[in-house]
Amino acid sequence: MQKHQISAALITFNEESNIARTLEKLSWCDEIVIVDSYSTDSTVDIGKEYGAKVFFKKFEGYGEQKRFLVEQCRNHWILSIDADEVLTDSLINEIKHEFSKETLPYKAYYLNRKHVYLGKVFKYGYLKNTPVLRLFNKNYANFSNKKVHETVVYKGKKGRFKNIFFHYTVDTVEQINYKKNRYATLVSEEYFNKNKKVNLLLLLFKYPLAFFKEYFIRGNILNGYEGYVWSTYIAEYSVLKYLKLRERNKKAKS
């Protein structure tokens, strides 16, 4: 029996194709809380079918959205999960066992994320088993306020579970392009607000260097076609965010 109550927390926008399989693995949590960015599909209805408490907030960045999400949770312990991520039974049992203890040794825990890209489970490179800080006591930790690539900030000692959860990133090339453009727009806005400039000479080398690092150094060459596509995505994204920043800077001067 769990002695420490957990709130499963997720943000959503038009996730009807993903969210059911995510919520199916969260029924053991004491509550499920969703903050939705005014979805136009059946995401909210599906969430309510699984007993989730649903709140609405206009999306202005991932960090801000998730900080608002944490505020809506009644429990101290937060399990942050994305709508395209699915816990395994072995991880659920491991968490339950840890949280059956009278006193917990940590205020935050890493979970191991396994990357699934275009339907393929990555078995090589850093994406096969990435530790991410997703289970934490909100009295001691919270999300950074970054518009994209937000992380849980906690400076104390952290625990780590052995078992994994799956991250079903994209199923189609169209989804790849959508995410690439969305993330690049958010990052360029963040850079613009920090008065960051674009060095065109350095930009010339960004694509080949980013691809080389992702494909060869980080081992995605071993992940077949999907590893190549992922590396191409990373390289294109590394350039696109600066092209969008340059566009913003030029517009601001005109």
Q: Are residues 114 and 186 in the same domain?
A: no
Q: Are residues 12 and 117 in the same domain?
A: yes
Residue 1 has pLDDT above 80, yes or no: no
- The answer to whether the beta carbons of residues 93 and 21 sit under 8 Å apart is no
Q: Are residues 149 and 188 in the same domain?
A: no
Amino acid at 99: F
Q: Give the tokens for residue 111.
A: 């979970």
Q: Are residues 164 and 99 in the same domain?
A: yes
Q: Are residues 20 and 145 in the same domain?
A: yes
Residue 254 has pLDDT above 90, yes or no: no
Q: What is the mean pLDDT of residues 188-194?
A: 97
Burial category of 53 from C-beta neighbours within 10 Å (exposed 0-12, middle 13-18, buried 19 and up) = middle
Domain end marker among 126, 144, 168:
168
Q: Which residues contact 234 (CB under 8 A, 6 or more apart)?
A: 210, 211, 214
Residue 187 has pLDDT above 90, yes or no: yes
pLDDT at 2: 80
Model confidence at 243, pLDDT cuts 50, 70, 90, reads: very high
What is the C-alpha to C-alpha distance for residues 145 and 30, in angstroms, rounded to an integer? 26
In a domain, 128, yes or no: yes
Residue 175 has pLDDT above 80, yes or no: yes
pLDDT tens profile 92-151 = 999 999 999 999 999 999 999 999 999 999 999 999 999 999 999 999 999 999 999 999
**Bridge partners, residue 11, by sequence:** 35
Q: What is the share, in percent, of the chain residues with pLDDT greater than 90?
A: 98
Domain end marker among 113, 138, 168:
168
Domain end marker among 135, 168, 201:
168
What is the C-alpha to C-alpha distance for residues 215 and 232, in angstroms, rounded to an integer? 8
pLDDT at 76: 98
Q: Are residues 119 and 203 in the same domain?
A: no
Q: Are residues 212 and 88 in the same domain?
A: no
Q: What is the CATH number of the domain that holds 33?
A: 3.90.550.10
Residue 33 has pLDDT above 80, yes or no: yes
**Bridge partners, residue 244, by sequence:** none
Model confidence at 204, pLDDT cuts 50, 70, 90, reads: very high
Domain range holding 178? 173-253
Q: Are residues 109 and 219 in the same domain?
A: no
What is the C-alpha to C-alpha distance for residues 55 and 38, in angstroms, rounded to an integer? 9
In a domain, 1, yes or no: no
pTM: 0.95
**Bridge partners, residue 111, by sequence:** 132
What is the total count of domains within the chain? 2
